Copies of this chain bind each other. A is one copy, B any other.
């Protein structure tokens, strides 16, 4: 039987709130199964960019990662946030080790090709090298990934943390029974964004298509859910969308994604 593995992504809202982050890390550290954490960036990178006088570029409403902004996200994601999380987890006796995709060539990506929009230094994942991750997990070490990858030609690339989480879950499903959990500010996928209690407890692909057509599911939830269904299709055992309560108590309300 394959060993269990939890792959948990926490979003920016959690990172922006020190108390919430600490509670999450407390519960994460207490999980007895092997686990991997992937963290997003939060508002700190934007605040530091502004202070440094770097002007964020938006093209057609999409954020562009300029060379200057790549330096800021590398500092903030792979440095400040990653090391704060790692040292916090260490204080909670979770033997964390922080990684970017460049480290041990763990996540190889390719600079997004320019079609209509040049996204700048944004990477699309090409390959996960599971060997080092497996070595760490076997040593009871918990990998903590920031959303920075590289192209193996010396260029770091800003990469979507949700996609890193699903790609890791898929790649590690070969050897582990993987549960992929996206923790964000809501209890799950909502049927009515105005009503925090309208949680869809299970979401099947067919229903997802219908809810998209009805524009009940829209905007940022679409790429997140696409990642979820993609992960399930590619061998991930279980996919959950929840708030941080689920990590402590799996009976708390959440959305389970079903194929």
What's the Cα separation between A118 and B144 when bound, in Å? Answer: 32
CB distance from A180 to the nearest CB of B (A): 24
- If A91-B152, A154-B91 touch, whether A83 touches B102 (CB-CB below 8 Å) is yes
Number of interface residues of A (CB under 8 A): 42
A84 contact set on B, CB distance < 8 A: 74, 156
What's the Cα separation between A58 and B95 when bound, in Å? Answer: 35
A51 is contacted by which of B51, B71, B80 (Cβ under 8 Å)?
A: B51
A131 contact set on B, CB distance < 8 A: 139
9 pairs of residues in contact across A and B, judged by CB atoms under 8 Å: A51-B53, A74-B80, A83-B103, A90-B150, A91-B152, A97-B132, A98-B102, A132-B139, A135-B139
8 additional A-B residue pairs with CB within 8 Å, beyond A90-B150, A97-B103: A51-B51, A78-B83, A79-B83, A86-B102, A87-B102, A90-B154, A104-B141, A132-B139
